[in-house]
Structures are given as structure tokens and as C-alpha cells.
Amino acid sequence: MLNVVIAEDDFRIAAIHEKYLSQMEGFALKGKALNAKETIELLSRFKVDLLLLDLYMPDELGTKILPDIRKDYPKTDVIVITAATETALLKDALRSGVFHYLIKPVSSEKFAQVMGEYKKKKQFIDSKTDINQADLDLYFGTQNQEERKSYLPTGINSITLEKVKRVLKGTEEGITAEEIGEKMGVSRTTSRRYVEYLVSLGEAKAELEYGIIGRPERRYYLS
């Protein structure tokens, strides 16, 4: 579970981002801050994996506290979510090593996409003791499509991957990870790992389906 802090001075926007976060697996909200001072206080109180940081806060620009965050909380990653469109602020944020920079308003789909990419990349790096160039090309997205297909990360084998593709090919209305698992005789966790890998390659796509009750499900389709 990845611990998250939302730093946003507009409580309505913070509530929206909290709702988006609650619809995703693997994230736990540790707190919300309305200004830079509260942000630093939350980082000092909790082990925070990811900070969702607004740049326009009432007491300090987010870019002003980024160097301190990098120095005092080096294990905390940062995704900027802001209305700031000035190139200078973007450059400052990039120099401070932010994972991504999102401009408000952020749709639930874009939020889910970026958070999903963050989680996958963090898990990918954390699973490695040593890295090679293929790992780095995969992480930074510099592989071409053919190179991605030929390189299979740990936990993905070609036989099972082809089976998942065949299951996806056999449905036009989309299918959940649980349904894929049932068809193949594997766990939901395993089937989801494979189909999310196909999503990362661009060979499949995922859409949220909202049911009558409970959390929305991700349905997968061939691209």
C-alpha cells in the first residue's frame, strides 16, 4: 500500500482528488494539507510515498518547498497537480525531480492513468536489485514497440501472455481481470498483472465501469 498526501488549498478540489484516489487499488490517503506549512507537517508525521502537490498555495509556492522536500524526505515522490501553466514553474518542478505535472482540472481517467503509471514504475524499480539498459529503456519509455514486445519483465511469461491475448480477442464487450482469471484458471491478481502489462504496451485498453453498488471495475479491451 502506497501512502499519499494531498496538498491542495481548495478543499473542493482536494475532495475530488480524494474520491479519485479511493477508486484505485494500492493507495492509502494519510492526510490533506491546505498550505505549505501543513504539507511539511504531514510529511514529518507519516511515511509518505507520494505527495500530490498544488503549486499555488496561500503561504508559499509549491516550487519553493520542493528542494526542502527533496532534501528532508528523499523517499517521497511528487506529482504536481496545479493550475500553473508558466513554463518557468514547470522547469523548476522538473529540476526538483517530480514524477509528473498535471494541469487542472484533471479528469478521473487522466488521474487514474498517471497514478497507475506511477505505481507500476515504483513496483518495477523496487523489485530490482540490479538493472540493465533494457530495464531503464522500459522504465523511461524509450523502447520502441517491437523492443517492448520482445522484452518480458519478471512475472510475465510468453505462453500465459498469448493466452490472455486470445481471451481478450474473444470478447467485444470487454472483460474484467476476474473474468479473465476464471476463463484461464488463474487468480485475478495474475490475470490483472498480464492484462495491465498489455495496457502498458498499448495492445489493450482499460475503461472504468460503474455498477449499481461497490467500486467501479476495470474492463479490458484489445486496442
Q: Could you read off the pLDDT of 86-140 as tens digits, one per residue?
A: 999 999 999 999 999 999 999 999 999 999 999 988 888 887 778 777 777 777 7
Distance CA 210, CA 217 (A): 7
Range scoring the smallest mean pLDDT among 7-11, 32-36, 86-90, 126-130: 126-130
**8 and 89 inside one domain:** yes
- Residue 214 gets the label, from left (phi > 0), alpha (psi -120 to 50) or beta, of left
Q: Which residue has the cell 514547470?
A: 90
- The answer to whether the beta carbons of residues 26 and 2 sit under 8 Å apart is yes
Out of 39, 73, 106, a domain closes at: 106
Whether 31 and 99 map to the same domain: the answer is yes
Confidence of residue 199 (pLDDT cuts 50, 70, 90): confident
Would you say residue 151 lies in a domain? Answer: no
Same domain, 11 and 97: yes
What CATH number does the domain containing 212 carry?
A: 1.10.10.10
Residue 147 has pLDDT above 60, yes or no: no
pLDDT band at 146 (very low <50, low <70, confident <90, very high): low
Domain that holds residue 7: 2-106
In a domain, 118, yes or no: no
pLDDT, mean over the chain: 89
Do 97 and 13 share a domain, yes or no?
A: yes
Question: Minimum mean pLDDT among 150-154, 165-169, 193-197: which range?
Answer: 150-154
Confidence of residue 171 (pLDDT cuts 50, 70, 90): confident
Same structural domain for residues 95 and 165? no
pLDDT in tens, 57-95: 999 999 999 999 999 999 999 999 999 999 999 999 999
In a domain, 93, yes or no: yes
Q: What percent of the chain has pLDDT over 70?
A: 92
Count structural domains, the chain: 2
Q: Output the pLDDT for position 89.
A: 93
CA separation, residue 44 to residues 1, 4, 5, 17, 33 (Å): 19, 13, 11, 22, 13
At 155 the pLDDT is: 81
Judgement on whether residues 97 and 9 belong to the same structural domain of the protein? yes
Residue at a domain's end among 85, 106, 127: 106
Q: Are 59 and 41 in contact (CB under 8 A)?
A: no
CATH at 12: 3.40.50.2300
CB count in 10 Å sphere of residue 81: 25
Give me the pLDDT at residue 168, please.
93
> Has residue 66 been placed in a domain?
yes
* Secondary structure class of 170 (helix, strand, coil): coil
* Residue 145 belongs to some domain of the structure: no
